[in-house]
Copies of this chain bind each other. A is one copy, B any other.
Amino acid sequence: MGISLAITFALLLITPSTSSLPPHDNLLNRARKVFSPLPSIMGSKENPITPEKVTLGKTLFYETRISVDRTVSCAKCHIPGMYGTDGLPKSIGNRCKTNPRNSPSVLNAAGHISQHWIGNRASVEDQAKQALIGPTSFGLPSYEEAERILRGIKGYRDLFEKAFPNEVEPVTVENFAKAVGAFERTLVTPSPFDEFLRGDENALGEEQKRGLRTFMDLGCSTCHNGVYVGGGMYQKFGITKPYWKLTGSKEIDEGRYAVTKKEADKYVFKVPSLRNVAMTPPYFHDGSVEKLEDAVRIMGELQLGKTLTEEQIGEIVAFLKSLTGTIPLDALILPTLPKN
């Protein structure tokens, strides 16, 4: 016992200090204080997920007949095969109307503090509901019209009844929102970075690990942190100078000021999640930047006041690629839409 204690003490003495730990061991511990792996689903007390709701929600996600010109579905601007975005600077909705901002991915979105770039949607359910009457999205004149259309497609009744049993009239806009929300709450994309956070230090390559370290050292993770590597707070875009000086934005977007009318919220946006960011160009709220390398460089200068080296940019981009995840197979299997 005395010998054992002595050995332990000796081992403690030779344990290297934090700064001389093997780089990735140290890195994993640091990363775990800042980031967390994805949950299996993004649950909600208000909208418990059931298979029946998810089935209905997935079907509704592809439904075009609930838009004023019958061409817009959720999937129009959130194409699963494009990682829940549409590849456009700004989305095109009904009757070719341009949306005010870039389409944010629906993947891993339900866990954010709010939805949309300026946080003017409380949840994925709220977003799905309001999209129905959004002038540039589905463009319906009213929720009543949405319900009239859904009730007119006979095949939906059975799906709604199964998803919302024991309701006198289950085919409602509220239930549309809950069903689409339930589906979106299943859209998590576990990535090599999650494997790393769970302890597999070989899940990231050496350059990716250097990038992760740089990402934390520079201060990117001050805002891009947590489960979603972003999505958890609001922040002014352009701390060191106006963002449009570097992004080349054609219009100046006042961001969250439109929601709160507070001067302090001018040019404030939700910090976007960086999950799957390598797969979702173009970048920023107005899709003004096409290349991820440019987006990283601009962020360094605008937010941190730092001119990043090409090496730093390369490392960070390599790290960001470790956030590219796997879309759940079930989400990729197209539903058959009910007939009129």
Stretch of A15-23, A167-175, A232-240, A327-335 that contacts chain B: A327-335
Identify which of residues 57-115 in chain A touch chain B, using a CB-to-CB cut-off of 8 Å.
59, 62, 64-65, 69-71, 79-83, 86-88, 92, 95-96
Contact between chains at B79 and A62 (CB < 8 Å): yes
Q: How large is the interface on A (under 10, 10 to 19, 20 to 34, 35 or more residues)?
A: 20 to 34
Contacts A64-B79, A87-B64, A332-B334 known; A278 to B70 CB distance under 8 Å?
A: no
User: Which B residues touch A80, using CB under 8 A?
Assistant: 334
User: Which B residues touch A71, using CB under 8 A?
Assistant: 86, 88, 92
A81, A86, A95 pick with most chain B CB within 10 angstroms: A81
Contacts A87-B64, A87-B65 known; A339 to B81 CB distance under 8 Å?
A: no
Contact between chains at B332 and A333 (CB < 8 Å): yes
State in angstroms the CA–CA spacing of A80 and B73 once bound together. 14
Min CB gap A135→B, angstroms: 15
Contact between chains at A70 and B88 (CB < 8 Å): yes
Contacts A70-B87, A279-B339 known; A81 to B327 CB distance under 8 Å?
A: no
Q: Which of B62, B79, B92, B333 contacts A69 (CB 8 A)?
A: B92
Asked if A145 is at the interface (CB within 8 A of a chain B CB), the reply is no
State in angstroms the CA–CA spacing of A332 and B327 once bound together. 15
* Interchain Cβ contacts under 8 Å between A and B, 28 examples: A62-B79, A62-B81, A64-B79, A64-B86, A64-B87, A65-B87, A70-B87, A70-B88, A71-B86, A71-B88, A71-B92, A79-B337, A81-B334, A81-B335, A81-B336, A81-B337, A82-B337, A83-B336, A278-B339, A281-B340, A290-B340, A327-B336, A329-B333, A332-B333, A332-B334, A333-B333, A333-B334, A334-B334
Contacts A81-B334, A95-B96 aside, 5 further interface pairs with beta carbons under 8 A come to A62-B81, A64-B86, A69-B92, A71-B86, A71-B92
